[in-house]
Amino acid sequence: MIPIPFRMTCRRAARLALLLALGLCALALAGCHRGDAVAWRLTDVTGHMPDLDFRLIDDHGKPVTGQDYRGKVVLLYFGYTHCPDVCPLTLAQLHVVMQRLGPLADGARILFVSVDPARDTPEVMHAYVSAFDPRAVGLSGQPRDIEALSKRYRSAFTREPDQGNGQYEVSHSSAIYIFDRNGKARLLSTPDRSQDDLVHDLHLLLDPGVSA
């Protein structure tokens, strides 16, 4: 199967991607010297990022926390439903990844955190994420809570000027943060990584017969 490539064409996205890349260089270099037995293909951030922790609203309007997803491998991604390109491409790619994982995918959840809570109500989020994959959950909440979560994982987003009639774009980082079943930050996938890399590393985290 030909991988669906990531693309980031939103304005100012290149600047945000550069800032994220600079922040991740130290993590990648540290991971190279860990000598871990597991042959990860993605960037190993074990011990370099905080545990999964948040208080937001899911796409059914229910308050949820990071603790609610313990026992699942979590793929955390920041985006918004009006995103013209990178968000739908990312979610489409993750759907294919879940399909390739087969029954193991039931042990994973895709958490799509909106950086545009003014427009992304629970109803809007539910319709959006459900169109991509049944294991995807839309999360929104108060702007201060979303900003705090973004800073917690060194992500970034910027709202562009309103184009009129409430239409605007939001430039945002495009990394996928992957947590193990205990909520520990383990891996980071950047847009240059392939479906094969994601499938390989998620298989290691999801397969109970593999020590990761």
E-strand stretches of the chain: 43-44, 55-58, 63-65, 73-79, 108-114, 136-140, 157-159, 170-172, 176-179, 185-189
Answer whether residue 181 is part of any domain. yes
How far is CA 139 from its chain centroid? Answer: 11
Note the pLDDT of residue 37.
62
Answer whether residue 24 is part of any domain. yes
Answer whether residue 105 is part of any domain. yes
For residues 66 and 54, the answer to whether their CB atoms sit within 8 Å is yes
Answer whether residue 28 is part of any domain. yes
Answer whether residue 191 is part of any domain. yes
Note the pLDDT of residue 212.
67
CATH assignment of the domain containing 152: 3.40.30.10
The model's pTM is: 0.81
Answer whether residue 90 is part of any domain. yes
pLDDT tens digits in sequence order for the chain, 212 residues long: 333 333 344 444 444 444 444 444 444 444 444 445 679 999 999 999 999 999 999 999 999 999 999 999 999 999 999 999 999 999 999 999 999 999 999 999 999 999 999 999 999 999 999 999 999 999 999 999 999 999 999 998 888 888 777 788 898 889 999 999 999 999 999 989 999 999 999 999 999 877 66
Q: Which domain covers residue 132, as residue numbers?
A: 13-206
Which residue in 111, 115, 131 sits closest to 177, CA to CA? Answer: 111
Answer whether residue 4 is part of any domain. no
The count of domains in the chain is 1
Note the pLDDT of residue 38.
76
Answer whether residue 211 is part of any domain. no
